[in-house]
Amino acid sequence: MATPLDWQIIACPKCHSSLELHVETCSCTNEECHAQFPLKEGVPILVRGDNSVFDTESFMRKQETFFRSVPKWREWISSHIPDVSLNVNAERNAHQLLSLLKQREGTARLLVVGGGVVGAGLGEVLEDPNIEVVETDVSWGPQTQLICDAHDLPFQDEVFDAVVVQAVLEHVVDPVRCVNEIYRVMKSDGVVYADTPFIQQVHGRQYDFTRFTRLGHRRLFRHFEEIDSGISCGPGVALAWSLRYFLLSFFSSERMRGIVSFGSRISFFWLKYFDYYLARKKQALDAASAFFFLGKKSPLILSDRELLSDYQGGF
């Protein structure tokens, strides 16, 4: 469950030295670095201005970054219309992660990267009293405890038992660097759980960069030993997304796009239910909307030849 931040594990995002906490700021204890970072309403803003697309001042002014506010009436309508997305393995994966964490002695420490809102299936994990949860994001959200950029995680080396990164790596400019940072802050036997899209249209405006096939996703985590992997969202979701965006392509006005968006959700939401069946089919790996990876930190590196031999699609 979410607990007060442990400043013993928090580090300078520039040099990874410890930070000294003041009333409204914190400062790096490394005299050669001596970087200063502000706190806003008790939330540390630990962003490297020289290595991030985000700047501290925007967060201090609480400007919108990834998450955008919508009118209450639109939010109400959206909550009462079925969505076209469905993560068919989220609950199972979350239970598997929870089981792995419960096998550890004492309190397990979990980092959620992109944790401004609760990720699919994670509710039970985040509420467990025996798990110390740190939820970070580059956006102000209801769950955000610390604002940071995943390219430079502000934590000491090897302090987390697990890291969750759901629907995040498509939105970073350098996913390899972000995964390397995840590897760095994990304990030697730490576990990572990732959900990342393959066939999904742009949904993060300017903060949307990359997609991954199953093998591309596996290579991203080549420093990890695979525990489990597979389809998060299947071909049904991929088709529903494509049809929705096909219709949206005809309109530029915000009003018409809103109407089409809601109408397409009502028209195509049922396609996602095919994924309960298709997600079990290997040939569906070539057409899935998103993939998950659950892996353990390893000193070994998966070779590209080993990677290619792991192709499991329909061709």
Residues 222, 214: Cα–Cα separation, whole Å: 12
pLDDT band at residue 180 under the 50/70/90 scheme: very high
Determine the 3-state secondary structure of 301 from DSSP: coil
Residue 246: both structure tokens together: 């096909």
Distance CA 289, CA 20 (A): 44
Burial tier of 194 (Cβ tally within 10 Å: 0-12, 13-18, 19+): buried
The CB density around residue 82, as the number of other CB atoms within 10 Å, is 12
With cut-offs at 50, 70 and 90, classify the pLDDT of residue 97. very high
Q: How far is CA 163 from CA 115, 196, 255, in A?
A: 11, 14, 39
CA distances from 59 to 37, 54, 64, 137, 153 (A): 12, 8, 8, 11, 17
240-278 pLDDT per residue, tens: 999 999 999 999 999 999 999 999 999 999 999 999 999
Tens digit of each residue's pLDDT (9 = 90 or more) over 142-157: 899 999 999 999 999 9
Give the whole-angstrom CA distance, residue 5 versus residue 145. 8
Per-residue pLDDT reduced to its tens digit, 192-224: 999 999 999 999 899 999 999 999 999 999 999
Report DSSP letters for 175-206, one per residue: HHHHHHHHHHHEEEEEEEEEEEESS----STT
Give the model's confidence band at 2: pLDDT under 50 very low, under 70 low, under 90 confident, else very high. low
Beta strands 19-21 and 146-148, pairing class: unpaired
Which position has the higher pLDDT, 109 or 141? 109
- What does the pLDDT look like over 15-25, one tens digit per residue? 999 999 998 99
pLDDT at 192 (0 to 100) = 98
d(CA 311, CA 303): 14
Domains and CATH numbers, the chain: 78-308 (3.40.50.150)
Long-range pairs, 272-276, Cβ under 8 A, ≥24? 272/83, 272/84, 272/85, 272/86, 272/233, 272/234, 272/236, 272/237, 272/240, 273/86, 273/236, 274/234, 274/235, 274/236, 275/86, 275/88, 275/231, 275/233, 275/234, 275/235, 275/236, 275/237, 276/88
